[in-house]
């Protein structure tokens, strides 16, 4: 209550002395508080009214005992705990992907900035927020649409994260980038009423602003922790589903991870995009779609280029040769490259398959 009164007092003083209230461009770019005013919270609740799931009055009595981000296991599995249900949480049905206002806003944004030299930024929108009961834990799972440059009819990528994931990202970035992070606010923890409509609406808006602010600072935008926040959980779940033979579910996650990396860029190098293409190729091949599997191999070979041999080069060449033969397409160039690697002793004969390498890869 005291902080809110102080906030209103500052606004009142700013109205009387506008010159004294402005402390510089950073103060305007990064507001002091990520919490919404009452009117904003009501507007956001209305915007999310079709997708938010709240607890009943009986559930709200448990708010004192359970706090999101503090109780229960880590929601980001390391690969062995994923299941088809996890895939459903990570990727909602197409009907829930993004919103029309977001698509129109994004289209107008890039139309205005098409001829400028300013880096194009991503847009984030919380499209779904569900209270998840996974005894002994209880938390809110926020699903965000991530949309970058591209055709206006392109579906946005999706990520699903909980408060503790955002808090971990904020804490890691604060430890590494004290200067840039000083101007970026984060929604504070609450000891109770974490599962009310008002709290979820406020946090949804705060998380959108938080990610937008991180993307606006080049030093933070390229931080490995931010890249991991977006991509690593999707890759871990996709790898686990692929290893257990759930190729339909895994394919959706690999495709979503590829779209995320395309929009974010690849400042950490080609390893994760190559692993993602390997996952896509394996799933397409297992689902009897050799054309798409071959296209993934070709894209990976383009990324690899003529650089020093990569551990995935020979497996991609071998898969490309086999798929080209199956489709009756030219395979001579890939065959020659693979033979050269084998003669130079740079890869065994035959090379390991993409699926074998995908299973052995450790994602952390």
Q: What is the pLDDT of residue 8?
A: 55
Q: Helices 247-264 and 224-243: crossing angle, nearest 10°?
A: 160
Q: What is the pLDDT of residue 254?
A: 97
Distance CA 7, CA 1 (A): 10
Element at 192 (helix H, strand E):
none
Tens digit of each residue's pLDDT, the chain (364 residues):
445 544 554 555 455 444 444 344 443 344 434 444 444 444 444 444 434 444 433 444 444 334 454 333 333 333 333 333 343 434 344 444 444 555 555 555 444 444 433 445 789 999 999 999 988 889 999 999 998 766 666 778 999 999 999 999 999 999 999 999 998 999 988 767 888 999 999 999 999 999 999 999 989 998 999 999 999 999 999 999 999 999 999 999 999 999 999 888 766 678 899 999 999 999 999 999 999 999 999 999 999 987 678 899 999 999 999 999 999 999 999 999 999 999 999 889 889 999 999 989 888 7
Pull the structure tokens for residue 184: 């970026």
Domains annotated on the chain, with CATH: 123-222 (3.30.1520.10), 227-360 (1.25.40.10)
Which DSSP string corresponds to 215-282? Answer: HHSHHHHT-HHHHHHHHHHHHHHHHHHHHTT-HHHHHHHHHHHHHHHHHH--TT-SHHHHHHHHHHHH
Q: What is the pLDDT of residue 189?
A: 83
Q: What is the pLDDT of residue 325?
A: 96
Pull the structure tokens for residue 161: 């994260």
HSE-up of 72 (CA within 13 Å, CB side)?
Answer: 21
DSSP tally for the chain: helices H, then strands E: 18, 4
Distance CA 279, CA 288 (A): 14
Whole-Å CA distances, 235 to 65, 138, 150, 168, 362: 33, 24, 23, 19, 11
């Amino acid at each position: 209550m005291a902080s809110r009164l102080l906030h209103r007092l500052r606004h009142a003083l700013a109205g009387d002395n506008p010159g004294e209230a402005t402390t510089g461009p950073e103060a305007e770019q990064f507001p002091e508080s990520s919490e919404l005013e009452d009117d904003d919270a009501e507007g956001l609740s209305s915007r999310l009214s079709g997708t938010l799931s709240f607890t009943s009055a009986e559930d709200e009595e448990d708010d004192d005992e359970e706090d999101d981000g503090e109780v229960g296991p880590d929601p980001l599995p390391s690969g062995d705990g994923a299941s088809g249900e996890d895939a459903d949480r990570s990727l909602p049905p197409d009907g829930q992907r993004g919103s029309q206002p977001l698509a129109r806003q994004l289209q107008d944004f890039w139309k205005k900035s098409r001829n400028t030299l300013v880096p194009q930024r991503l847009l984030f929108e919380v499209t779904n927020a569900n209270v998840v009961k996974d005894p002994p834990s209880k938390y809110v799972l926020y699903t965000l649409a991530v949309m970058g440059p591209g055709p206006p009819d392109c579906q946005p990528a999706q990520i699903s994260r909980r408060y503790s994931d955002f808090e971990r990202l904020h804490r890691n970035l604060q430890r590494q980038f004290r200067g840039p992070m000083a101007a970026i606010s984060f929604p504070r923890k609450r000891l109770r009423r974490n599962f009310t409509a008002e709290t979820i609406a406020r946090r949804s808006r705060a998380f959108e602003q938080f990610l937008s602010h991180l993307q606006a600072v080049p030093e933070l935008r390229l931080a490995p922790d931010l890249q991991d926040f977006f991509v690593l959980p999707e890759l871990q779940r996709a790898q686990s589903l692929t290893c257990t033979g759930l190729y339909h579910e895994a394919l959706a996650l690999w495709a979503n991870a590829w779209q995320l990396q395309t929009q974010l860029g690849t400042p950490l190098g080609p390893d994760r995009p190559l692993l993602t293409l390997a996952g896509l190729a394996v799933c397409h091949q297992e689902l009897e779609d050799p054309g798409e599997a071959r296209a993934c191999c070709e894209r990976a070979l383009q990324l690899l280029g003529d650089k020093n041999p990569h551990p995935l080069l020979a497996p991609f060449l071998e898969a490309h040769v086999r798929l080209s033969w199956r489709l009756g397409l030219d395979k001579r160039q890939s065959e020659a490259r693979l033979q050269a690697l084998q003669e130079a002793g740079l890869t065994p004969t035959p090379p390991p398959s993409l699926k074998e390498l995908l299973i052995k890869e450790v994602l952390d």
